[in-house]
Structure 1
Amino acid sequence: MTDQSELRYTSEHEWVLVEGTVATIGITAYAAAQLGDIVYLDLPAAGTQIAGGSVVGEIESTKSVGELFAPVDGTVVEKNAAVEDAPELVNSDPLGAGWLLKVEFTELPELLSLAEYNALIGE
């Protein structure tokens, strides 16, 4: 599991880990809990250009279907094939093995700190 204080967050409940010019992206534990048991993920393929704020994927759970928003502009360099085969990884380890995408970004937007995200979700 990744140290939550090293991450940045979006108001759409994604987390971002920045390593050089690559952002690893996933959904927060809060989002995973709100969605319930995740049963299907539709993620963009490597090479896909994405725009920050746009819908880039779908997360289907036993409760609902949710959208995955891109927190950054850039190019998908990798999607986590393990979560497509075993979507329950997103519930069991959302900040670790349950990551969704790696994106080479062109510019890093203003993102929330852990304290700001916790204030957003009321924790």
Structure 2
Amino acid sequence: MNRRSLLLLSAGALASTALAPGGRITPAHVRSLHDAEQTLYNADLRNGSAHLRSQAAHALNAAHTWPQTSAYSEETGRQLHLATGQLSVAAGWLAHDSGLPGKARSLYTEALANARMALLAHATDG
């Protein structure tokens, strides 16, 4: 698979689970973030990381926009934070591998913040 096809596939995975503002986030949306993460790792192994950073940014943008504009259950919210954190780790690796250690640190910090939010949501469940 060539680089362009891979990038279109990755973008298509997120586009297939597009979410209109005010919509409801479902487990399918969370799965699309996991799929994007795995696609980024697989593409990095085959082609290197430099050209994948924009795809990672696109996926992270969706992960950050969805909870601000949409409804979701507590469990889906926890899973969304976990998926966003894992995607941040993947994006951090791509940044590190591309020689951008400051960006990588920022993304790893974001991943940690998402993990904490997921744990906090779990700890406050009644």
TM-score computed with the length of structure 1 as normaliser: 0.25
TM-score computed with the length of structure 2 as normaliser: 0.25
Question: Which is richer in helix?
Answer: 2
In our comparison, the structure showing a higher alpha carbon Rg is: 2
Question: Which is richer in strand?
Answer: 1
